[in-house]
Amino acid sequence: MPVCSDMAWHWDTVLLTVAAISFLAKPAAVSGNGLYSYMDQVTLLDHDNFDRILYNSSKAWVVEFYAAWCGHCINFAPVWKSLANDIKEWQPALSLAVVHCANLKNRKLCQRFEIKSYPTIKLFKAFSKPSSKEEIYNGTELSVVALRHNFIDHLEKHGENEWPPACPPLEPISMAEVRSFFAANEVLYLALIFEDAKSYIGREVTLDMLQYENVAVRRVLKSEENLVKLFGVHKFPSCYLYFNDTTHREVTVKMETRIFYTYYLRRLPGVTRGASKLTPENSTYGFVTEPWKDFNSSKLYMSDLESAIYYSLKMEVGKHRELSGDTLMALKHFITVLTKFFPGRPFIMKLLQITDAWLTDVGTASVSYNALLDVLDNKNGTPGAMIPDKVNWVGCQGSRPYFRGYPCSIWTLFHLLTVQAAKYNKSMTDPLEVLSTLRQYVKHFFGCRSCANQSRSHAAASMDHVRSFNESILWLWSRHNRVNYRLAGARSEDPKFPKLQWPPPDMCVECHDEVNGRHMWITDAVLNFFYVHFSPDNIDYSYLEEEEALLKRQQKVREDTWQDQEKSGPEEDEKKDKGEDQGREEKEESTEPPVMKEEQVNPMIVRRIRSQKRTFVKWKRAAKMEVEDIVDLDSFVNEQYKKPALKDRAENKRTSLTNKRYHGPQLHLQSIDESEESREKLQNWVVGGWDQVNAKKKWIRLLGRSFSRTDTGLCILLYFLSALCLLSMYLYFKMKFRWRKWKYLFTSASVGVQYGREKN
């Protein structure tokens, strides 16, 4: 490994030495953690915690001593971080740590271990004492593979008394041990990896499966002829599963490599993470487990996507009592992106478009969440517009109610939106629209604030480099896998669905490759996989509640609300104050729809100046009003004829969602156009044909409701201007006709005089 030695007289060393002197001249500048943080899967050691953590530990430790100003240390830091992620599953047996020697706090610690060059790597066995003699790794290879193999060699040097208790055996297994294995071990599977003596695959897979139960992994050398013959092994390396009934079968994977073997074994039935990761069954949370829903992991489920939208708008956004400034702008962008790219069912898209239009009308003014909730609940009663009112996880369901769910679904939703944006908007100039929306949503609404802060730092560091829609898809994919790396093995991980690098080999074989012992992603194959997997054609509509049932439930809730308002509405007080005559007038108006309270009315549809009054006011009562009401005919039509509209919809309901899929926002736009057209026809019928349905006297009352004083004044003004215009036109044409007549007489007289002169 290259080192920054104080014995080398190169110009780069001189420059680094000058940098070190200036660095040490400012102690405050070097008091931090240097090149590493707690998110890098390494333990940060210093003078205060070194002895307490390292000595008498039940696992082995590998410690890097470095200085932040060292050029080789800076170059080596990504390798060390990658290695820490690569062997994260080995932590019960072996962990990585760092000591920042450029920190003045650690000066004596580094002197104690005689650190004279950077970086220096020291290996500490399990149960080390302060008097123990640590080993120094002097390898010159900087690759992750070389370091990984060296650490395995280090583990194998542990004596029997020093062996880490959590570390499984790494030596080859014999025929006798195989035959008696299940008698001494309570597991479901014994995975035997046949390999050459110089191969590390068997030991790597053994350590990778260290934290998983019900499976054991052992290596078998090619020289163990009895076992090779018994299992019929014909290639090396290869893997075979051995069962308690002495049967066996070969593991078939695309490539005989560590990552493919590890992934296959983790997905075996009954194989889970260690029980210590699970919450005890007698937990005080008192959750209720829902019936399990069978699902296909290669499919997207509309139920998960709709649940993500419901949870985000009703729960996450709902934490804000008032929306303003950047928070309101983040919500607007979120709704706009959903309206553009989400391939949802028509009634959901219709409500999203109504909400988007309402937010546009709001402008920059702050709004209360209650007002937004009225729009989301469709309090105005617009036919065929709603969002399902509960969560229903299918592909994102967890083994416990607190696992997966919303985080899984919001990732799925934004992956789908990035692909949809790339498919249908390649002519757009902003490939960052969906990613920027995700960034703002996480910043302002995502409930896990530590997760949000980490996501913001990652986005700030690299999102601005995205230049195309394909890069946008791959950027979100890479960040998702980084999060899976970080959360693997955490308490939030579902043991039934461990955090894996996605897509896994069984879903996309072409996405994986291995070069010089290291796993490599084929990004072109990943991109093609995303276009297919996150396509509307791959959405499954199972476990969904049908539109008709949702609309009926919504209608029932609205009718119950109206009945409650009729019992305690403002009309009750008016009857008491104004006597029996006024009461009879109220009774005549009983056919009108009940009026919601002002805070329940959609402000985009009905803008009322005065509350606690009927929307449609009698003509003789209008004179007593202090402020005029602005009447909206759309609200009257929607409420007066809601039941016939729902009845027609029920007669023309669609076929089952499991047999028909909805694609693209074109259907949603068409449905809105049709509803507006039918509404306009209905309005024309109400205004123009009212006298054909009701008695002759009622058209006068309707006219009184439909026109305010301002409307009447405008009509009089227009009538006066029209009369003035007609009078002006009359005078203009009259004068013009007279002018032509006078011109003709004058011309005739002139011609006669001329003729007389010529004759004389």
Which residues does the annotation mark as catalytic?
Answer: 70, 73
H or E stretch at 512: strand 512-515
Report the C-alpha gap between 591 and 585 in whole angstroms: 12
Q: Between β-strands 189-195 and 238-242, what pairing exists: parallel, antiparallel or unpaired?
A: antiparallel
Contact of 189 with 241, CB cutoff 8 Å:
yes
Contact of 552 with 313, CB cutoff 8 Å:
no
Contact of 596 with 613, CB cutoff 8 Å:
no
271: left (phi over 0), alpha (psi -120 to 50) or beta: beta
Structure tokens at 295: 């699902």
From residue 257, how far is each of 68, 217, 262, 541 by CA, in Å? Answer: 36, 14, 9, 37
Residue 600: Cβ-neighbour burial (10 angstroms; 0-12, 13-18, 19+): middle
Distance of CA 16 to the CA centre of its chain: 45
Contact of 94 with 60, CB cutoff 8 Å:
yes
Structure tokens at 627: 């402020």
Structure tokens at 709: 């004083």
Residue 696: Cβ-neighbour burial (10 angstroms; 0-12, 13-18, 19+): exposed
Look at the chain and count its residues.
760
Q: CA-based diameter of the chain, in Å? A: 156
Say which amino acid occupies 336: T
Contact of 115 with 67, CB cutoff 8 Å:
no
Percent of residues in the chain assigned helix, strand, coil, to nearest 5: 55, 10, 40
Q: Which of 418, 413, 446 has the alpha carbon at shortest distance from 432?
A: 418
CA dihedral over 661, 665, 666, 668, signed as positive or negative: positive
Report the C-alpha gap between 506 and 512 in whole angstroms: 10
SS3 letters for 382-440? CCCCCCCCCCCCCCCCCCCCCCCCHHHHHHHHHHHHHHHHHHHCCCCCCCCHHHHHHHH
Long-range contacts of 648-657 (CB under 8 A, 24+ apart): 649/383, 649/384, 649/548, 649/551, 650/548, 653/546, 653/547, 653/548, 654/547, 656/546, 657/302, 657/345, 657/541, 657/544, 657/546, 657/547
Torsion, CA 331, CA 336, CA 342, CA 345, rounded to 10: 90
SS3 letters for 210-262? CCEECEEEEEEECCCHHHHHHHCCCCCCEEEEECCCCCEEECCCCCCCHHHHH
Contact of 191 with 239, CB cutoff 8 Å:
yes
DSSP, res 108: H
Paired residues of 95 in beta bridges: 61
Task: Tell me the backbone φ, ψ of residue 480, rounded to 5 degrees.
Answer: -65, -45
Structure tokens at 281: 């069954």
Q: 475 by DSSP, 3-state: which? A: helix
Report the C-alpha gap between 356 and 670 in whole angstroms: 17
Report the C-alpha gap between 522 and 512 in whole angstroms: 6
Report the C-alpha gap between 310 and 307 in whole angstroms: 5
